[in-house]
């Protein structure tokens, strides 16, 4: 029995190690390629680490307005994340803590919007943004991401686990819904709130199709859109493209690094409850 358990443990660790290698190797190739000038890069031969330099990063900011793209992505991602977290948390509070007729039906209908492919909404959404005058502007990119059915679902699942005695006690003390929401509910669902913040930021930061359609000027492009300018029809500057990719993942890495504990607690807690 003990021998069998050891064999199973070895197999588990082997599978995990294989998965780690599969995930890490492309990342390492991307980083090394970003420091390797295109002239010394060959897919058929091994890369010479002695030729590593910062030249691809210098060319990156010369070839495309990458600095402006970074600023655009940061502004859009931060504002969009804040709006999405605010609207999702408020809607989740209503669905979880404020009973009213048809609440469950309305919540289910709202969740069904997650099954609608975004491509189906592109044309009507673009027409709406054009009527509002938000084409080729930050607001045109931010507004569609200001609401999230998944964010509402995630936060609602966390809020419904809290005992209603908290609301009743706060009401007896003279607290209204606003005070209960900010002073009691939000602090207790902090892991889920941070998880939604991370998911919202990553989703908006990596968004490509909608910014590509709504933003027309090069000065308004976000990072994912700017990276496509480095891909030609016949040739691709892999060193510059990988340099841009490395820079684009740094904010995502930092956000998840600082919020990792809350993300694990939020996902595990909501799933268990």
Residue 161 lies in a domain: yes
Domain assignment of residue 189, given as a range: 56-269
Instruction: Judge whether 184 and 31 are in contact, CB under 8 Å.
Output: no
Instruction: Judge whether 42 and 254 are in contact, CB under 8 Å.
Output: no
Structure-token pair, residue 257: 């690094």
Residue 100 lies in a domain: yes
Q: Which residues, 6+ apart, have CB-to-CB distance to 270 below 8 Å?
A: 154, 157, 158, 192, 195
Confidence of residue 5 (pLDDT cuts 50, 70, 90): confident
Residue 183 lies in a domain: yes
Confidence of residue 258 (pLDDT cuts 50, 70, 90): confident
pLDDT at 4: 75
Residue 129 lies in a domain: yes
Average pLDDT over residues 200-209: 94
Q: How far apart are CA 204 and CA 225, in angstroms?
A: 13
Residue 44 lies in a domain: no
Q: What are the residues facing 236 on neighbouring strands?
A: 231
DSSP state of 45: S
User: Is a pLDDT exceeding 80 seen at residue 81?
Assistant: yes
Query: What value does the mean pLDDT of the chain take?
Result: 86
Q: For residue 162, how many C-alpha atoms fall within 13 Å in the half-sphere facing its CB?
A: 24
Give burial (CB, 10 Å; 0-12/13-18/19+) of 47: middle
pLDDT at 99: 87
Q: Which residues, 6+ apart, have CB-to-CB distance to 158 below 8 Å?
A: 92, 189, 191, 192, 193, 266, 269, 270, 273
pLDDT digits (tens, 9 = 90+) for 39-73: 445 544 445 666 778 888 988 888 888 889 999 99
Average pLDDT over residues 264-269: 68
pLDDT digits (tens, 9 = 90+) for 210-238: 999 999 888 889 999 998 888 776 677 88
User: Is a pLDDT exceeding 50 seen at residue 272?
Assistant: no
pLDDT at 143: 93
Average pLDDT over residues 128-144: 92
Average pLDDT over residues 114-136: 91
Q: Alpha helix locations (H) across 160-237? A: 165-172, 177-180, 186-188, 190-205, 209-214, 223-228
Residue 167 lies in a domain: yes
User: Is a pLDDT exceeding 70 seen at residue 205?
Assistant: yes
Specify the higher pLDDT residue, 7 or 80.
Answer: 80
Q: Which of 1-5, 226-230, 255-259 has the lowest mean pLDDT?
A: 1-5
pLDDT digits (tens, 9 = 90+) for 171-182: 888 888 899 999
pLDDT at 45: 45
Confidence of residue 267 (pLDDT cuts 50, 70, 90): low
| CATH number of residue 225's parent domain | 1.10.3720.10
Confidence of residue 168 (pLDDT cuts 50, 70, 90): confident
pLDDT at 30: 86
Average pLDDT over residues 127-133: 92
Matching residue, tokens 């189906």? 120
Give the count of domains, the chain.
1
User: Is a pLDDT exceeding 70 seen at residue 273?
Assistant: no
Average pLDDT over residues 245-273: 78
């Amino acid at each position: 029995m003990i021998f069998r358990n050891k064999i199973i443990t070895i197999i588990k660790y082997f599978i995990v190690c294989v998965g780690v290698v599969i995930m890490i190797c492309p990342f390492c190739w991307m980083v090394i390629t970003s420091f390797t000038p295109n002239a010394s890069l060959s897919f058929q031969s091994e890369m010479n680490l002695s030729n590593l330099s910062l030249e691809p990063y210098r060319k990156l900011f010369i070839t495309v307005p990458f600095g402006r793209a970074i600023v655009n992505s940061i502004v859009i991602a931060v504002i969009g994340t804040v709006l999405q977290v605010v609207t999702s948390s408020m809607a989740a509070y209503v669905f979880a803590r404020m009973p009213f007729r048809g609440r469950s039906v309305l919540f289910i209908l709202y969740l069904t919007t997650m099954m609608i492919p975004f491509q189906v909404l592109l044309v009507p959404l673009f027409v709406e943004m054009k009527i509002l005058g938000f084409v080729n502007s930050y607001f045109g990119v931010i507004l569609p991401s200001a609401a999230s059915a998944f964010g509402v679902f995630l936060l609602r699942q966390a809020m419904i686990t809290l005992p209603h005695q908290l609301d009743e006690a706060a009401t007896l003390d003279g607290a209204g819904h606003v005070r209960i929401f900010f002073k009691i509910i939000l602090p207790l669902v902090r892991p889920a709130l941070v998880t939604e913040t991370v998911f919202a930021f990553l989703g908006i930061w990596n968004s490509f199709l909608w910014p590509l359609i709504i933003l027309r000027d090069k000065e308004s492009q976000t990072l994912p859109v700017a990276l496509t300018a480095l891909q030609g029809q016949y040739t691709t500057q892999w060193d510059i493209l990988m340099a841009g990719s490395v820079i684009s993942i740094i904010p995502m890495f930092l956000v998840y690094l600082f919020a990792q504990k809350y993300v694990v607690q939020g996902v595990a807690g909501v799933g268990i409850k």
